[in-house]
Amino acid sequence: MTTSILAQQLRKAQHVVIFTGAGASAESGIPTFRDLLTGLWERFDPAQLATIEAFRADASLCWGWYEWRRQKAGQAQPNGAHLAIAEIAKHMPRLTVVTQNVDDLHERAGSRDVIHLHGSLHSPCCIDCGQPYTLPLTSDALPEDGSRIEPPRCNTCSGYVRPGVVWFGEMLPENAWRAGLAAAEECDVFLSIGTSGIVYPAAELPLRALGHGATVVHINPVRFEISGQEHFLQGPASVMMQSLLREAFGEHPDPQ
Ligand code: OAD
């Protein structure tokens, strides 16, 4: 597979799914989870930070870490991949963005109706009653290595407010999962960008798309094993997506 062959397929496609992981936001300065040295799970222990038990055991440690991540995501800008995806959508009868990312960079690049399989850093809610909680971004610079911050309390039941992300051991938001699955099963081209593809059930989506006859293409700077029916384009997300946009539709948005 080359970007020009994929570009031809995009021009003919009726429905494209763009499925993104942390690698799609890496060039915006948001760390991935599993890249050696820089990945969050190389430096922090998910069992201490990304489970309901961790939050119940030390809510301030957990909340402080997610506030640091929320601030970092809020300060980041969409990169060339986010911008190219939003631009490609304008040329397609239908394009669905399904992301595992908890930032809002797709939306800020102009993508609409983004399906967030793993929730969002920007939608905290009460841990007890589920009531959404509106929270402005703090302007104080938060230290990376775990400043404890007491979580706010719910206006309705006084329970702790928790980050709006899916933690290990939790179900995906039902509507998001159902919509992601339906899109994967209906599309004719499925692009999986910047994900290690090891966290289920999200990682099932490329397989579902393949099983329903879609062309499945993985875009990643690091090659990994795929089945004989899938395709691989090696390179960083922004470079690959901008080439694809240019080759398919002759445009080139400026990365910010
Ligand atoms: P990972 O950190 O597991 O994988 C990131 C992928 O991005 C790797 O395959 C990298 O090679 C690739 N990558 C790095 N830089 C890139 C670039 N510039 N362009 C394209 N790709 C690049 O992140 P995810 O696959 O997103 O879950 O991880 C899946 C889930 O595991 C996350 O949503 C999170 C985590 O635990 C929850 O928080 C529930």
Nearest C-alpha neighbor of 94 from the set 21, 179, 176, 205:
179
Q: Which residue has the tokens 């936001």?
A: 25
The pocket around ligand 1, CB under 6 angstroms, is made up of: 21-23, 26-27, 32-35, 39, 100, 118, 165-166, 194-196, 199, 220-222, 236-237
- What is the token pair recorded at 101? 């990312």
Counting residues of the chain whose pLDDT is more than 90, the rounded percentage is: 86
Residue among 25, 27, 28, 34 whose CB has most ligand 1 atoms within 8 A, to mutate: 34
- What is the token pair recorded at 173? 């938001």
Mean pLDDT of the chain: 94
Residues 190/206, Cβ–Cβ less than 8 Å: yes
Give the pLDDT confidence of 40-59 residue by residue, as tens digits.
888 888 888 999 999 999 99
Q: How far apart are CA 166 and CA 162, in angstroms?
A: 11
Query: Alpha-carbon torsion 76, 28, 19, 243, what sign?
Result: positive
Nearest C-alpha neighbor of 190 from the set 164, 210, 174, 211:
210
Looking at residue 255, its pLDDT comes to 53
Packing angle of the helix pair 174-186, 204-211 (nearest 10 deg): 40
Range 209-221 average pLDDT: 98
Is residue 120's pLDDT more than 80? yes
Cα(99) to centroid(ligand 1), Å? 11
Neighbours of 185 (CB within 10 A): 16
- What is the token pair recorded at 254? 């400026």
Give the pLDDT confidence of 133-153 residue by residue, as tens digits.
998 877 777 777 668 899 999
